[in-house]
Amino acid sequence: MRKKFLAVVFLFLFVLSAATASAADSENVSSERDPEKVVAKVEDLEIKEKDIDQLILAAGGPQAAVMFDNEQVRGMVLDELITIRLFALYGKDQELDQTPEFKSSLDSFVTQSLAMSAMDSIMKDISVSDEDCKNFYDQNPEQFLTPEEVNASHILIADDEAGAEKIFLILDELEKGVSFDVLAVEHSIDPSAQQNGGNLGFFGRGQMVPEFEEAAFALSEPGEISEPVQSNFGWHIIKLEGKRPPSVISYDEVKPQIEQRLSNEKMTEKYQEVLETLRGEYTVEMLTE
């Protein structure tokens, strides 16, 4: 039920965003807000600035908290919070909080909230040091290699009798010095011909069909043109435009990813460790027929 409500609130915020885009620039005063300031009361129930912040954050995450940080949106969210409290008071007056359905729902919410709070408490001290990250980087160099890449253009010809004749014509034109790009536009059946003169940009191994890849990587000097190569797409004439040798990604470039990876590993390890301890401390019975 709570997830459904948050989804409705998020939809409400999303629809509203188009109408308040300009207001967000002129009315943003988040740095001046006191989160403890009471902005409304419903009977003796206080609604504070932080309640509005929490609802927006829960509905749409940090991006929504920034996007909808203006008085018009916050006023409409406040109206929603007032509505929630009004219905809650009505529900209490009707003693709906005494029904089995409500108590079951409340028990489930409390259990899940306690579990999440316990997990947060367990994980709060987990950290990854700069030394941890650097050691991982130094000990796993193979994970930070950018493989060799080539930049190639090609002319693709259909694999039929007319195509065979066209290949010889193209090779003859290339021998005479006609531009590869011009011939690609004129003869190639690949869409890249009309867009980029047949150029496919840089690619690594495993991105093209094997026959094409083998021929492209076998070329050594920019400007070199392959013999016709057959694949399941047809016949290719390939021109090497350039090569990038294998290179090592710098530590500074990958440090955030390493830190996140090591943090996830530590949290998983801690989770499994604590879970195993809890299974030993508390009785778990599997009741099956």
Residue 23 has pLDDT above 80, yes or no: no
Q: 200 and 238 in one domain?
A: yes
251 domain-assigned: no
Confidence of residue 218 (pLDDT cuts 50, 70, 90): very high
Contact 242, 151 (CB under 8 A): yes
pLDDT, averaged across the chain: 87
Contact 190, 156 (CB under 8 A): yes
The pTM for the full model equals 0.58
Query: Based on the structure, what is the number of domains in the chain?
Result: 3
Its domain, for residue 193, covers 148-245
CB atoms within 10 A of CB 152: 27
14 domain-assigned: yes
pLDDT, tens digit, 9 for 90 and up, residues 48-68: 999 998 888 877 777 767 777
Q: 237 and 155 in one domain?
A: yes
Q: 237 and 212 in one domain?
A: yes
Mean pLDDT for 180-192 is: 92
Residue carrying structure tokens 């929603």: 80
Q: 185 and 159 in one domain?
A: yes
Say whether 239 sits in a helix, a strand or coil: strand
Per-residue pLDDT, 116: 94
Per-residue pLDDT, 288: 78
Among the candidates 60, 77, 96, a domain finishes at: 96
Per-residue pLDDT, 195: 85
Q: Which residue has the higher pLDDT, 122 or 3?
A: 122
Per-residue pLDDT, 67: 75
